[in-house]
């Protein structure tokens, strides 16, 4: 090898130099072919299950000799694992204990991460995203929409005293509320967080190409093995007509809106509440956000929907690696400055 280097360096024999270089390129080419030839061919494996009241779809590409079912099972298992932590209905869940006692010691890592992230984005969104909105949600789910406006205003004003993520303190692994009667709900980020944990689990087992859809909370891991992008669409709330189709790779997408989400069967009260006022958000029909991970996309989709087109797009345009598409109440489509690169023409 030293003689080879010297021959190239002297430059006194151009014929020998060219021949030697050609041999080197042939060897390199053969080596590259050998490596690529050793790569196992990837097969598509897919599974659909009903989890936490919604449809979950996981698609992976893995080698023929892989234990693909174990990989898929591990992804679905993350949903159950996190649901047990964040459930507001399970009396034994850490979130229920936090809400009941006003504090929790030795909080699970996932709960700590979700609470910290929620506090961070409460500041970023100037209070529009707030997990302490639970007392107000309880009012609306209890029939507040059937009361007079005067009664609504009075009850909401009282409940707003218990709202504010700044009233949550974290010390080590202890989470504590600053006011008695406070409670949290992680509904504004839990599905996105689950998708991110599924993706982490798939990646830890060598998967590099995958698509996860948890009730419309979607992440595309890498591209398809053939280099193609993953396609998904935003559908009309009144039928299955596609409004917009997106193409993604290495991104997450979440839509928040008033589609099929109401506190009462008569559909008089949407379940999206502005935590600043305590009243129902009514500036948009839907907000779709694309971000680097599903948790952030989930948080910001909720936020942008509440803010509405003008303030929602302004917020998104101020953030890095985030894009949004909003449908306003007149069914106009408003997009952030970089959204078009994800939309199929």
Instruction: Give per-residue pLDDT as tens, 61-114.
Output: 999 999 999 999 999 999 999 999 999 999 999 999 999 999 999 999 999 999
Q: What is the pLDDT of residue 266?
A: 38
Q: In angstroms, how far is CA 290 from the centroid of its own chain?
A: 9
Question: Does position 254 have pLDDT exceeding 70, yes or no?
Answer: yes
Q: What is the pLDDT of residue 264?
A: 38
CA distance 47 to 215: 14
Q: What is the pLDDT of residue 32?
A: 36
What's the rounded mean pLDDT across residues 266-283? 75
Residue from 214, 250, 244, 215 nearest 232 by CA: 244
Q: Please tell me whether residue 246 adopts helix, strand or coil conformation.
A: strand
Structure tokens of 54? 């919604």
What's the rounded mean pLDDT across residues 160-189? 97
Q: For 336, which DSSP code? A: -
Question: Does position 29 have pLDDT exceeding 80, yes or no?
Answer: no
Phi-psi region of 68 (alpha: psi -120 to 50; beta: other; left: phi over 0): alpha
Beta bridge partners of residue 252, listed in sequence order: 219, 291
Question: Does position 288 have pLDDT exceeding 60, yes or no?
Answer: yes
Q: What is the pLDDT of residue 259?
A: 53
Q: Which residue has the tokens 């997106």?
A: 246
Q: What is the pLDDT of residue 272?
A: 83
Q: What is the pLDDT of residue 241?
A: 66
Residue from 178, 211, 184, 176 nearest 195 by CA: 211
What's the rounded mean pLDDT across residues 138-165? 94
Residue from 19, 15, 20 nearest 4 by CA: 20
What's the rounded mean pLDDT across residues 117-139? 96
What's the rounded mean pLDDT across residues 118-146? 95
Greatest mean pLDDT range, 26-40, 243-257, 259-273:
243-257
- Assess contact for 166 and 122: CB atoms under 8 A: yes
Question: Does position 221 have pLDDT exceeding 50, yes or no?
Answer: yes
CA distance 117 to 294: 13
Q: What is the pLDDT of residue 203?
A: 98
Structure tokens of 192? 């996105």
pLDDT level of residue 239 (50, 70, 90 thresholds): low
In 4-94 the beta strands, taken as DSSP E runs, fall at 42-51, 54-63
Alpha-carbon dihedral of residues 189, 194, 197, 203, nearest 10 degrees? -120
Percent of the chain with pLDDT over 70: 82
pLDDT level of residue 4 (50, 70, 90 thresholds): very low
Burial string for 202-215 (b: 16+ CB within 10 Å, else e) reads beeeebebbbbbbb
pLDDT level of residue 271 (50, 70, 90 thresholds): low
- pTM (two decimals): 0.85
What's the rounded mean pLDDT across residues 204-233? 96
What's the rounded mean pLDDT across residues 170-199? 97
């Amino acid at each position: 090898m030293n003689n080879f280097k010297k021959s190239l360096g002297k430059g006194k024999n151009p014929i020998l130099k060219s021949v030697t270089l050609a041999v080197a390129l042939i060897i390199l080419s053969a080596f590259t072919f050998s490596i690529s030839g050793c790569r196992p061919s990837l097969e598509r494996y897919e599974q659909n299950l009903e989890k936490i009241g919604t449809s979950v779809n996981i698609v992976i590409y893995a080698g023929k000799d892989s234990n693909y079912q174990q990989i898929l099972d591990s992804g679905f298992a993350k949903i159950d694992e996190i649901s047990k932590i964040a459930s507001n209905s399970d009396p034994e869940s850490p979130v229920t204990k936090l809400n009941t006692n006003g504090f929790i010691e030795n909080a699970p890592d996932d709960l700590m991460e979700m609470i910290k992230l929620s506090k961070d984005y409460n500041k970023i969104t100037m209070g529009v995203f707030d997990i302490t909105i639970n007392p107000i949600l309880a009012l609306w789910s209890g029939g507040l929409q059937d009361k007079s406006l005067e009664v609504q205003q009075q009850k909401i004003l009282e409940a707003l005293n218990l709202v504010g993520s700044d009233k949550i303190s974290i010390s080590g692994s202890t989470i504590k509320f600053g006011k008695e009667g406070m409670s949290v709900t992680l509904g504004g980020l839990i599905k996105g967080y689950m998708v991110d944990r599924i993706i982490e689990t798939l990646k830890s087992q060598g998967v590099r190409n995958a698509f996860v859809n948890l009730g419309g909370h979607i992440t595309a891991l890498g591209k398809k093995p053939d280099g193609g992008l993953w396609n998904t669409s935003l559908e009309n709330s009144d039928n299955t007509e596609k409004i917009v189709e997106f193409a993604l790779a290495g991104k997450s997408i979440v839509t928040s809106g008033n589609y099929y989400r109401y506190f009462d069967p008569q559909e008089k009260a949407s379940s999206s509440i502005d935590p600043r006022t305590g009243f129902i958000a009514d500036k948009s029909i839907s907000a779709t956000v694309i971000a680097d991970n599903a948790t952030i996309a989930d948080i910001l989709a909720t936020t942008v929907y509440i803010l509405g087109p003008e303030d929602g797009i302004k917020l998104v345009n101020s953030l890095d690696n985030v894009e949004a598409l909003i449908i306003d109440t007149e069914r106009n489509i408003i997009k952030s400055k970089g959204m078009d690169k994800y939309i199929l023409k």
